[in-house]
Structure 1
Amino acid sequence: MSTGTIIGVIVVVLVVVAAIAVLSRFMLQRKRLQSKFGPEYERALERNDNRMAAERELVDRERQHAKLELRPLTPVTRESYARNWTRIQEQFVDAPTTAVTQADRLVTDLMAERGYPTEGYERQASLLSVEHANTLDHYREAHTISERQERGEASTEDLRTAMVHYRTLFEDLLDNSAADHGADGRRDRTEGAR
């Protein structure tokens, strides 16, 4: 074999290896995003022209989320939120519309307490999807029902459903804070820095 042929074969092999490495990297990222974002990955696919655009959007969400200064809740604060939630649930029997409005406000207050933005529903949902993808559909459903309630189009059963959805996200936000910290409210050092 001539030197030119050997060089040509080596170049082709290097190009193939590089292509495999790049493809492998994309596939690993795709699997990571699918796993992390769950149903939100599919929602991003539906909204975007192609898979690459959807994945860029999700990676951008991760970057924006990393800029947030998320804070844990102290045990006292967690207990206060839990008591407020119980009070709102009890109020539902006599005043379902008021209870749903207050549930939405309490969830928003909890987001703010944790360090999430509270302006702009789409921005909230986008940033929540990074750590709360599995409960985000509940928030979307509750928000949709709340909007219908404001127009006077939600039945009592709809409002009950909204409360269930709000509770799911509410509990996830409380539990997520507890998972990052020990019972005394300090960071759990066994998990390392985030």
Structure 2
Amino acid sequence: MSPTVVIILIVVALLVVAAVVYGVRTGRRKQLRTRFGPEYDKVVGDADSRSEGERELREREKRHAELELKELSAESKAKYSVAWEEVQIQFVDSPGEAVSTADGLVTQLITERGYPTGDYDDRLADLSVAHAQTLEHYRDAHAISERSAAGEANTEDLRQALVHYRALFADLLGENPVRTDGASDAASTPTVPTQKINNHDSDVAGSRPDATSR
């Protein structure tokens, strides 16, 4: 076999290997995009490179696989549903306290499902593997909750926080799945009488929550 033929065969072999590697990488990337949804773009965008971001997502998958997650019993689901109804009732007279209660309730639910709840960022990373579609709701709710604690959130902000919390809450509970194409989706809006809310925040123009069904 002539040296030229050998070189050609080597080049062909390298091209085949490169094609296989590219195909595997592309398939893996598609799988990550499908699993993490908008979280894929966020993590990759925050990383120094696409490879580094994808490595982080694969690490999340590995950690998630080691968690002992569990489904809730029908009794537990019923208790959480009742607890959420009470949060929405509490919102009428005490919006800030209701948001704080909602935060605690969501954290409790996360714990009962088997997720660690120590560090907030780690909590987000763990949740992103199976609940990426509602993760941004959780981020927004958490941010408003912190502003509320600092006295920087008005009633409409607090109402939106409750809507955001409900998105992840419903996702984790597995009951009444909520749409995630808009935080102000009417189907996700807490039922709160407009008049009473305005009594607590008369300075907020146009902040009337919609009275819609849960």
Which TM-score applies when normalising by structure 2?
0.80
Which residue of the partner structure matches residue 71 of structure 2? 72
Report Cα offsets for 1:101-152 as digits up to 9, x if no partner: 0000000000000000111110110110000000000000000000101111
Q: 2:20 matched to which residue of 1?
A: 21
Q: 1:47 Cα deviation (Å)? A: 1.3
- The aligned counterpart of 1:63 is 62
For the residues of structure 2 that align with 1:150 and 1:92, how far apart are their CA atoms?
15
- Which residue of 1 is the match for residue 137 of structure 2? 138
- Unpaired runs of 5+ residues, structure 2, are 178-214
**1:6 positional shift:** 2.3
**Structure 1 match to 2:174:** 175
SS at match of 1:115: coil
Q: Greater relative contact order (Cα 8 A, min sep 6): structure 1 or 2?
A: 1
In 1, distance between residues paired with 2:135 and 2:30? 19
Q: What amino acid sits opposite 1:37 in the alignment?
A: F
Whichever structure has more helix as a proportion of its residues is 1
CA–CA separation in structure 1 for the residues paired with 2:2 and 2:77: 72
Aligned residues: 176
Deviation at 1:170, TM superposition (A): 0.2
One-letter amino acid of the counterpart of residue 97, structure 2: T
* Structure 1 residue 5, shift from structure 2 partner: 2.3
2:14 aligned partner, one-letter code: V
Match of 1:152 in 2: 151
Work out the CA distance in 2 between the residues paired with 1:67 and 1:151. 37
Which has the higher mean CA deviation after the structures are superposed, 27-36 or 108-117? 27-36
RMSD over aligned CA atoms reads: 1.3
Opposite residue 68 of structure 1, the aligned amino acid is L
Paired position in structure 2 for 1:85: 84
Could you tell me how far apart the structure 2 residues matched to 1:120 and 1:158 are? 25
Cα drift, residue 3 of structure 1: 3.1
Inter-partner Cα distance in structure 1 for 2:57 and 2:7: 40
Q: Secondary structure at the match of 1:93?
A: helix
Paired letter, 1:84: A
Q: How many angstroms apart in 2 are the aligned matches of 1:44 and 1:129?
A: 11
Q: Quick one: distance in 2 between partners of 1:97 and 1:149?
A: 7
1:12 corresponds to 2:11: yes
Structure 1 unaligned blocks of 5 or more: 179-194
1:42 deviation in Å?
A: 1.0
Q: CA deviation at 1:164?
A: 0.2
What is the rounded CA distance, in whole Å, between the counterparts of 1:26 and 1:86 in structure 2? 46
Given residue 95 of structure 1, which amino acid in structure 2 is its aligned partner? S
Amino acid at match of 2:4: T
Q: Under a length normalisation based on structure 1, what TM-score does the superposition of the two structures give?
A: 0.88
Instruction: Find the aligned partners of 1:89 and 1:119 in 2 and give their Cα distance.
Output: 26
Separation in 2 of the partners of 1:97 and 1:141?
15
